[in-house]
Structure 1
Amino acid sequence: MGAFLARLGSGVRVTWASSTAFATVGTAVVTLLVLPLLSIAYDVLLGADLSAPDLVRTGYAAALVALASSVCAGVVGTAATDRNLGVFHEVHTRRRLDVAYWLAIAAVPSLLAVLTGAAAIGAVAVLSPAHDLAMLGRVIALAPIAVVCGLLLGVGAAGIGVDLPDPYLGATIVSTFLPLLTGVIVPLSLCPAWVRVLGALAPLSGTVTALDASADGVGALLTRDLLVALVWAGAGLAATRHAVTRLRAGARRDVI
């Protein structure tokens, strides 16, 4: 356990030192505030154009999905950087499953995403005409689930990206389609049947639905989200092991 914690702490320090989010004040403001708020504003405006029934709910849902997408993008970005440096290759050819590595590269993105999420949720609460404290409390309670799902999605996208020409493609797909498949702009209950089917395969669809669900059904929705996110993380880990196996068999010569 001591060695595990030492490796985890070392990985977190390296990830923090290599993070570009705090390179300058301007970078920090744009990364943590401007881009997430613009993304939420876009979803709300699109919801207004589509006559979404509750724009405040759309804003909160967009904030939760932005939180998860931010963590996912951070994990994928760090893993891609490690691949370019050869770190990813060394880690995953030496250990079958390095939990300390994945936790280390997720720590800083999770911290930054929490700061971003707090600003986004706070902005929606301030701009909401009703200032519904009960809804705000529910969103804050759901935020940790969004972070965990984002972390697991990041592991999946980073692992699958090992065999893709563009290692960032997985995170791009997540940030593009997650708002649609989770019912951010329009609740899934109002979407076509095929969107609802695809939504069942997307983590956070249950979390977003929980904004409107009764208290009795929230637990099942969140459990489903975590299980689906675990499946995606497992797919990413399996893809990484497949790449390592091909590398050791001589079928692949590029650095993973």
Structure 2
Amino acid sequence: MDAVTPQRIEGQGTLEADWAGSTWLASLPITPAQDLLEGTRRLLVVSPHPDDEVLACAGLMQAALAHGVAVHVVSVTDGEACYPDQALWPPARLRDARRHELAQAVRVLGLDATHVTPLGLPDGGVSTHEAELTAHLTAQLMPADLIIAPWIGDAHPDHEATGRAALAAAGARGARALQYPVWAWHWLDPDAPAAPWPTAMRIPMDAAMRSRKREAMQAFATQTGDVEGLDCQPILPAHVTARFHRAFEVLIG
């Protein structure tokens, strides 16, 4: 996740207490991870910024490893533009810090540096490199892979461009593709009469998976504000991270 200015992403957004009472969210069908992953050679998780992969898919990545499915993360940008007005956190420092945070987070989930490919595309400028990203993902994919990327309607330009590139690559290679919402939990209506995604599903996590996910999320100290010299609201305050402490993750088919 990263700092953005689109109309739908402002203020504190929808609180998790409201999502807890959402009828349409509770009615999404439950799909066990092992069923979702059946026949999958490799799970390729594409993340526009370091932390999106953990917020949205930490449980699924753990389940894949537990069921013998290879996992790889493509980190599209380093999220270096998240605090443009913070003199003590210029892009170069953030780039290094966020790569380190991602390495810490994936270790908690059972991965190491060999399972992460950082592309270093410009934070906030993925759409101008969409063709390059599509080509990279297409070259990486095999037909038996499952690629997971942000929802193309998430309302963050980097998320949407990453999602489009993943869908295009999957189409070119005959691979399965699913999408994950991140910013959507900020602005969607929990009281809407129907779910915005007809093919969405909930992937449950057990207590151990949830605990490791929380620990992995805590690794992103620059985003939670647990660092010195940050004189502004962090990207991931407690009311935002609460949306990702659920007993399930949501994927869109």
Q: Larger Cα Rg: Structure 1 or Structure 2?
A: 1
Would you tell me which structure has more helix in proportion to its own residues? 1
TM-score class, shorter: under 0.3
When normalised by structure 1's length, the TM-score is 0.26
Tell me which of the two structures has the higher relative contact order, counting C-alpha pairs closer than 8 angstroms and 6 or more residues apart. Answer: 2
Would you tell me which structure has more strand in proportion to its own residues? 2
